[in-house]
Amino acid sequence: MKTYTYTDLSSQQKEELCLRQLADDHTITERVKSIIETVKAEGDKALFDYALAFDQVKLTQLFIDKTEIEAIAATIPEEAKEAIDTAYANIRAFHAAQLSKEAKVETMAGVSCWREARAIEKVGLYIPGGTAVLPSTFLMLGIPAVLSGCQQIIVCSPPQKDGKTNCYLAYCALLLGIEKIYLVGGAQAVAAMAFGTPTIPKVYKIFGPGNRYVTQAKQLVLASGITAIDMPAGPSEVLVIADETASPAFVAADLLAQAEHGTDSQAILVSTSSAMIEQTLAEIESQLKELPRKDIAAKAIANSYAVLVENTGQAMDFSNQYAPEHLILATENFEALTPLIINAGSVFLGNLTPESAGDYASGTNHTLPTSGFAKAYSGVSTDSFIKKITFQHINPAGLTAIGPTVEILAAAEGLQAHKNAITIRLKSTDGY
């Protein structure tokens, strides 16, 4: 991990340092385009073929139903069941609090305006699975979808070698009331939900993380106007701001927790103390040796860096420019820094709040903007699964009050029919 001194960096160097080095693999793009077109043309047949080619599973059907889900869920270890129950309760409580009804506003006498929420009718959730165990993602996407009132929630997850799903995802499905899990993974799952097949319904918006093929597929269906997606996605990232009150062992653990996601993950340390940076780097080397995914984490750490700043003001400036997916304020003085945060996906305050708590069970959502998109995007919430529709109602007094204003503006823009829509009503209500 290379160390930079903030005051030695030019504005351009800081900007370049904040850029994510995303690989532009033309081969992947073309492969994903081919998969999408094949699913569009061949439907279910393509999905069976891809399951055999990519997952090495010969499926007899593309989904498991409620009966199979219940049977698989029954095999979950008791301690895992209790952990999922706790995470479910916390995540549900946090997201339920986001649902609120907005008040009507009388913008002028007789003119009332307001907004009402309506759930997106059909949503698709992509849950990485197969040999992996990712119940947390299912909860993070499924809970706000259910709370928002989405009528149709389509869940796609790669099959295990037995052509089923794992007990953790099955148990989450039971909690969420999901009665079908479609055994489709990768870019082909995104294509199936975007276009629809005889088995898998078409959805209006696709959610969920995935590998580069899944990410590329989501971007392609969005760019072509086929369906909406939750947000642009890239490799996972964390930025830790640590001062002399931080624990080097804690900071190192947080950086490694992000680094073990993948070799392209970024783990950034920004500190007011050179001693803190040195001690954290030593802790990283020590802790790294004990990790099962040490080879992956080591490569990510090698591609990451530390920045030495003179004060926390500089640290916050750099953080806001970087716009991290996860921001950890490893300091006892976090309350003073919180108001300075402008760009971040999710923030973890103090020395006892690791990012992994938010990944699993504190309640906040772990589906967050990466690659600097925290400057413009929020993480997934109940808002992600609804639309806000505006309403207005005008009574006779309101028409008389607002009418002349609309007539003048419409005439100024040369839109006579717009003006007439007001004038004809004013005449009919004796507004003139």
Per the residue annotation, which of 237, 260, 261, 326 is the catalytic one?
Answer: 326
Q: Is 326 a catalytic residue?
A: yes
Is residue 325 annotated as part of the catalytic site, yes or no?
A: yes
Strands 228-229 and 152-156: unpaired
Residue 129 structure tokens:
């699975």
**328, 360 Cβ separation under 8 angstroms:** no
Which of these is catalytic: 260, 325, 355, 366?
325
User: CA 313, CA 330: separation in Å to the nearest integer?
Assistant: 14
Residue with tokens 């997934």: 380
List the one residue out of 48, 224, 143 whose CA is nearest residue 155. 143
Amino acid at 114: W
113 phi/psi in degrees, rounded to 5: -130, 145
- Provide long-range contacts, Cβ within 8 A and 24+ apart, for 76-83: 76/167, 76/168, 76/170, 76/171, 80/167, 80/168, 80/171, 81/171, 83/361
Beta bridge partners of 166: none
50 with 36: CB under 8 angstroms? no
Active-site positions read 325-326
